[in-house]
Amino acid sequence: MVLLTYPVERSDDEWRKTLTTDQYRILRKKGTEFAFRNAYWDNHRKGTYVCAGCGNELFTSDKKFDSGTGWPSFWQPVTEETVESETDSSHGMVRVEVRCARCGGHLGHLFDDGPAPTGRRYCMNSGSLHFNEK
């Protein structure tokens, strides 16, 4: 097993103290949240979405779109280096997990059914994000 290291690392106790219960469950334990009942799925304000764990800039509002899934969806991250991905075969299906490249926090999943120009859908959990309005 390869042990990944990140620029921002904290002990499990430190993560529990700095994150809300939902943020911890999503970012550190790869949880998810209910569709259509989360903070940013219907957010149309202009700004930047950052990692709730470390503040890494992840997505901008001009790359967000309404996927109809009930989770905030983006067709492109700020840069390709901002996020990392890995095959996720949990829950009896094969998907692509998306993590913050700065702290390793679970953000959501990547699908190939997004709009042009990338055709990608970064389906993120609101609980893994913090929104900074312009």
pLDDT at 1 over 50: no
**Residues annotated as catalytic (active site), given as ranges:** 123
Q: What pLDDT digit, counting tens, does each position of 31-63 carry?
A: 999 999 999 999 999 999 999 999 999 999 999
Domain boundaries, the chain: 12-133
Contact 109, 125 (CB under 8 A): no
Q: What's the rounded Cα separation, in Å, for the pair 58 and 44? A: 17
Tell me the pLDDT tens digit for each residue of 68-120.
Answer: 999 999 999 999 999 999 998 888 888 999 999 999 999 999 999 999 999 99
For residue 2, pLDDT over 70 is answered with no
Write the DSSP string, 54-70: T--EEEEGGGEE--SSS
94 is written with which tokens?
């094969």
Closest of 7, 26, 17, 21 to residue 107, by C-alpha: 26
Q: Please give the model's pTM, rounded to 2 decimal places.
A: 0.93
Instruction: Indicate the class that CATH gives domain 12-133.
Output: mainly beta
- Predicted pLDDT of residue 102: 97
pLDDT tens per residue, range 15-33: 999 999 999 999 999 999 9
